[in-house]
Amino acid sequence: MIDGIRPTITSVAVPANDTYIAGETLSFTANFSENITVAGSPYLSVQVGGSALQAPVTSTTANSITFTYTVANGHLDADGVGLNSIQLAGGTIRDAAGNDAILVLNNTGVLTGVLVDAVAPSINSVTVPADKLYTAPETLDFSITYSEPVIVTGTPVLGITIGSNLRSAAYTSTSGNTLNFRYTITGGDLDRDGIAVATSLTFTGGASIRDAAGNNAANTLTVPSTTGVLVDAVRPIITAGQTFSIAENSAAGTAVGTVAGIDPGSSGTLQNWTITTNANPNGNASNAFTINAATGAITVNDAGDLDYEANTSFTLTLTVSDGVNTSVATTIVINITDVNEPPTDITLSANSIAENNAVNAGVGTLSTTSAQGGATYTYTLVNGTGDTDNSQFTISGNTLQAAASFDYETKNSYSIRVRTTSNTGLTFEKTFTVNVTNVNEPPTDITLARTALRKTMPSTPTSVTLVPLHRTQAQPLLIHW
């Protein structure tokens, strides 16, 4: 049998529409009209931008050949790759009868959406802060402009050195092709001969800068001079943990103590001491304390705020300046010490007792008024003004008791003087009046108003007025005989 029919390409399958970057592959499969055999190293010429690139054979089947092109750095085709032709390069593509295949690329898939972008964004320029002296909380702003728009993932940082300390200017925003980075000066930063800027960005935690195709942007920075970008943010320091004490009720102007501080970053004099958070528990127009702006000496400003029983301590917040920088607000504690305070009043829960009472009957309960918290008190009857009737009473614990049985008709008002004594030995005395209340009492005897009666008495009952022995109103008594 004679076979003189040459194999032909019936179709060419192309890659899916996408933008391919360096390292990715584009595979093209040429399907033939009959089984073929490949010998040597044919390749498919692929047009990428202005370059014809070779896609070598990577696999075959009985009637197909797959050519694969691997994208390399710098390759770019923004309107779709093209296919030129299959080049034998000294090889052969034949059928079993030895007929050379006709290598016309028939029915090729659409390639306008098969794009290549393996050009990394380059850096056009780097800008740095203007020359000047910066202090907290000013910012150092940097920008990097790329050759094309980029996409930022995560938070890349620009390293800077301030003095001997490494700091990071964080990515803040994108403006067109420009990325912006910022570092905020913080207390303690000091560099008097100019900051230093890293020559590349730092990427951590998956951060990246890529173009829309996914190419990593260039990362070598050409940084302008920063010898004039100076930093001085060394704040004076108020010594931490300072504690003072002052007795309660101390008068205005009483010294509390002088706050200590240092200025490690310069030789400036500490000045402008300020209480930023004061105390004013009584809510009037005067704060509890004041401070000398030049020396840091604290004195009492309002004695009425210093009440141990209400507040045992106050926490104040202070700042100080060295003429350029202001310290971090720092707290100090002022403890209020207790002063024993005397009783200021005695009260008696009841000041009356009914006559004919039993001896040791309770009159009322004594209690003490005092600003001294937690104090205990004892009560005694004492000599002094108003002690006239002390002997008629006793005190058991805090109960005033009658020492006798009282008779309203004999005496109905008694004066006593009571002293309360605190457990710290402080006393207060007060006079009380105890009233005896009247009780209705039954008669205890009867007497006749006359001592004799006539011998001849009327035959009818006669009314005779009798007077009881006890002091109550006389009542008529009917006598029968």
Residue 454 has pLDDT above 70, yes or no: no
In terms of Cα–Cα distance, which of 191, 80, 213, 72 is closest to 132?
Answer: 191
Cα separations (Å) of 361 from 381, 386, 410? 17, 22, 19
Q: How far apart are CA 51 and CA 266, in angstroms?
A: 65
Quickly list DSSP for 338-403: P----EEEEEES--EEESSPPTT-EEEEEEEEES-TT--EEEEE-SSTT-TTGGGEEEETTEEEES
Q: How far apart are CA 294 and CA 296, in angstroms?
A: 6
Q: Which pLDDT does position 2 carry in this prediction?
A: 78
Q: Which pLDDT does position 463 carry in this prediction?
A: 52
| Average pLDDT of the segment spanning 173-179 | 95
Residue 479 has pLDDT above 50, yes or no: no
pLDDT tens per residue across span 157-170: 999 999 999 999 99
| Average pLDDT of the segment spanning 40-53 | 96
Give 266's DSSP letter: -
**C-beta pairs of 164-167 under 8 Å, 24+ apart in sequence:** 165/189
Confidence of residue 471 (pLDDT cuts 50, 70, 90): very low
What CATH number should be reported for the domain whose range is 237-337? Answer: 2.60.40.60
Q: How far apart are CA 20 and CA 74, in angstroms?
A: 12
In terms of Cα–Cα distance, which of 28, 115, 47 is closest to 77?
Answer: 115
| Average pLDDT of the segment spanning 391-409 | 96
Residue 453 has pLDDT above 50, yes or no: no
Strands 313-321 and 271-277: antiparallel
CB proximity list for 440: less than 8 A, separation 6 or greater: none
- Domain made up of 343-437: CATH architecture: Sandwich (2.60)
In terms of Cα–Cα distance, which of 242, 233, 231, 316 is closest to 281?
Answer: 316
Q: Which position has the token pair 């707290």?
A: 331
Residue 414 has pLDDT above 50, yes or no: yes
| Average pLDDT of the segment spanning 355-370 | 95
Residue 405 has pLDDT above 90, yes or no: yes
Instruction: Dihedral sign for Cα 253, 255, 261, 267, please.
Output: positive
- Per 3-state DSSP, what percentage of the chain is helix, strand, and coil (rounded to 5)? 0, 50, 50
| Average pLDDT of the segment spanning 31-35 | 97
Per-residue tokens: 395: 């005190």
Adjacency order of strands within the sheet including 190-191:
132-134, 229-232, 190-191
User: Domain spans of the chain?
Assistant: 9-117, 123-232, 237-337, 343-437, 446-479
Q: How far apart are CA 230 and CA 130, in angstroms?
A: 10
Average pLDDT, the chain: 91
Secondary structure of residue 424 in the 3-state scheme: coil
| 196-205, 338-347, 382-391: segment of lowest average pLDDT | 338-347
Secondary structure of residue 305 in the 3-state scheme: helix
| 28-42, 65-79, 141-155, 458-472: segment of lowest average pLDDT | 458-472
Class of domain 123-232: mainly beta
Confidence of residue 476 (pLDDT cuts 50, 70, 90): low
Answer yes or no: same fold for 9-117 and 123-232: yes
Residue 31 has, within 13 A of its CA and on its CB side, a CA count of 8
pLDDT tens per residue across span 195-222: 999 999 999 888 999 999 999 999 999 9
| 89-103, 184-198, 400-414, 435-449: segment of lowest average pLDDT | 435-449
CB proximity list for 378: less than 8 A, separation 6 or greater: 420, 421
Identify whether the C-beta of residue 480 lies closer than 8 Å to the C-beta of residue 464. no
Confidence of residue 449 (pLDDT cuts 50, 70, 90): low
pLDDT tens per residue across span 321-330: 987 788 999 9
C-alpha 361: how far from chain center = 62
Q: Which pLDDT does position 221 carry in this prediction?
A: 97
Residue 427 has pLDDT above 70, yes or no: yes
Strands 427-437 and 352-354: parallel
Query: For the purposes of burial, counting CB atoms within 10 Å of the CB of 241, is it exposed (0-12), middle (13-18) or buried (19 or more)?
Result: exposed
Confidence of residue 469 (pLDDT cuts 50, 70, 90): very low
What CATH number should be reported for the domain whose range is 9-117? Answer: 2.60.40
Residues 163-195 as b/e (b if ≥16 CB within 10 A, e otherwise) read beeebbbebeeeeeebbbbbbebebbbbbeebb
pLDDT tens per residue across span 106-115: 999 999 999 9
| Average pLDDT of the segment spanning 345-368 | 96
In terms of Cα–Cα distance, which of 67, 73, 76, 54 is closest to 15?
Answer: 67
Q: Which pLDDT does position 83 carry in this prediction?
A: 97
What length does the chain have? Answer: 481
Q: Any idea what the Cα angle at residue 277 is, between residues 275 and 282, rounded to 5°?
A: 110
How much is the pTM? 0.50
CB atoms within 10 A of CB 9: 22
Q: Which position has the token pair 């498919």?
A: 44
C-alpha 216: how far from chain center = 40
